[in-house]
A and B are shown apart, each in its own frame.
Chain A
């Protein structure tokens, strides 16, 4: 099936990734020797302190930035540039502000699924607007929607494009706490689906530990300066998941503390004190 030599080939294989930025003629090492795999249909979150290179990692996966070293393989083939087999949701401006939400989704479908007729595109767009709870908002412009609704629409577009891979960079961090919870649950239920369809492969960046635990199969914890993989943790909770059933349990508290420790140690080491609040 692929040239990968792992037993079960990963959908995404990141190997020894090194990324540099050049600013004022000085090279800055943002990611250093990052390696991990994302299985087919796996939901992987990337967490880490601000500035540790989470967005940098995702921009490489999106094909927007080229690494200085290492490779990214998708289905065993090395990644070069952008591609519509990957659906992307950014924190801001995923949608074009001059297009209505429906037009935005139709545009995504047109780019990703060649040969889908115009009337069909409209039908699919409305179907996904319905799925994310935006019935009746198809002819609104993004500026007429709340931040949460804009992210719903962005998710609708990414899903309507029907890509095998979804890349999301802190899609909910600009949303107020209450709506964030609602959106997390929406994403969870859409991604888990009814078990009949194959799940999408997701790389999800966040700095919200609870969000990462609720959604992911696996969490990659990054350390900063330069960004390296601190630890890769499997999330031990069964699916389908339910926030309220999960959050109160002892196992959840323990697991959460362990992750917190991984993040906290990193920050304490760097700042050199104990007075750090996350």
Chain B
């Protein structure tokens, strides 16, 4: 990449605009922590510039710059609407600097809650993956002709997983186990369905190629059918993953002592909207981070596809 392509980007202009907007006088009646916002944005900009040196692939750089640019625009509009012109109710809508300040103050508490939420999600998700994938492979392979299994799966995956919560609460001892159970069920069906449809869609030619090499049954399932249906399996996993986080945060709002859902619900009950917004933003970023990492894994495992 040329020097220009690396550093002459709109994102940096957006950063400057964000800074210039901060020079406008504050009109909010509440404290707005403009300094914190400027420090945060500058930090982001420094990291972005450093990354621009290192990143090799043009697409990766563009992705990063797009995301950062989006954050700058969001912060600009947000501070205009709150701190600068106070067009929104400053009780319900804290200025961005205030949220950043809150995040720094609460960072320990937030970290604990993230850890709890992400931990439960991963546990339920992995449990679903290690059961649904082998089962889907096995049943899909046995029923490559019959379509009944597909309909049964459709039936179960059409049930909104929130329905499972009361059963979980009645059957299981702790909130944590209920959460894991609900996420397990919510993820199981899409992963199972994805695996099944993957198996059913494997090209007969690939299976013939494997057969003429006399592969054993376990090899057929795990060295042939599994990689051949991996894309569909990931489709199911993605679906499961996005459902599980929404589900978990809602469950945490109902009956937990930990977790990001709990954090948001707890403070909104007290009318502490700065913390509520902070919590919501953190949830958003955690979802982005998890999705990003998961996509990385997917791209790596499917690198053989064009």
By the criterion CB–CB under 8 Å, are A83 and B209 in contact? no
Given contacts A90-B205, A143-B305, are A96 and B227 in contact (CB under 8 A)?
yes
CB-CB under 8 A from B205, the residues of chain A are: 90, 92-93
Given contacts A92-B205, A97-B305, A98-B304, are A84 and B213 in contact (CB under 8 A)?
yes
State how many angstroms separate the Cβ of B216 from the closest Cβ of chain A: 10
Interface string of B171-205 (1 = CB under 8 A from A): 00000000000000000000000000000000101
By the criterion CB–CB under 8 Å, are A90 and B208 in contact? yes
By the criterion CB–CB under 8 Å, are B214 and A84 in contact? yes
Which residues 75-119 of A have a CB within 8 angstroms of B?
A: 82-84, 86, 88, 90, 92-99, 107-108, 111-112
Q: How many residues of B contact A (CB 8 A)?
A: 19
By the criterion CB–CB under 8 Å, are A98 and B215 in contact? no
By the criterion CB–CB under 8 Å, are B227 and A93 in contact? no
CB-CB under 8 A from B305, the residues of chain A are: 97, 143
Q: Write the chain A residue with the least CB distance to B303.
A: A141
Given contacts A93-B206, A96-B227, are A64 and B212 in contact (CB under 8 A)?
yes
Given contacts A90-B205, A90-B208, A92-B205, are A97 and B213 in contact (CB under 8 A)?
no
CB-CB under 8 A from B215, the residues of chain A are: 111
> Is the CB of B56 closer than 8 A to any CB of chain A?
no
By the criterion CB–CB under 8 Å, are A88 and B306 in contact? no
State how many angstroms separate the Cβ of A278 from the closest Cβ of chain B: 27
CB-CB under 8 A from A92, the residues of chain B are: 205
> Is the CB of B228 closer than 8 A to any CB of chain A?
yes
In whole angstroms, how far apart are the Cα atoms of A112 and B212 in the complex? 10
> Is the CB of A148 closer than 8 A to any CB of chain B?
no
By the criterion CB–CB under 8 Å, are A86 and B212 in contact? yes
> Is the CB of B61 closer than 8 A to any CB of chain A?
no
Given contacts A96-B224, A141-B304, A143-B304, are A107 and B212 in contact (CB under 8 A)?
no
By the criterion CB–CB under 8 Å, are B212 and A63 in contact? yes
> Is the CB of B211 closer than 8 A to any CB of chain A?
yes
24 contacts between A and B (CB under 8 A): A59-B208, A62-B208, A63-B211, A63-B212, A64-B208, A64-B212, A82-B212, A83-B214, A86-B212, A90-B205, A90-B208, A90-B209, A95-B209, A96-B209, A96-B227, A97-B206, A97-B305, A98-B227, A99-B304, A107-B213, A108-B213, A112-B213, A141-B304, A142-B304
| 10 A-B pairs with least C-beta separation | A93-B205, A98-B227, A141-B304, A143-B306, A88-B212, A111-B213, A98-B304, A84-B214, A82-B211, A82-B212
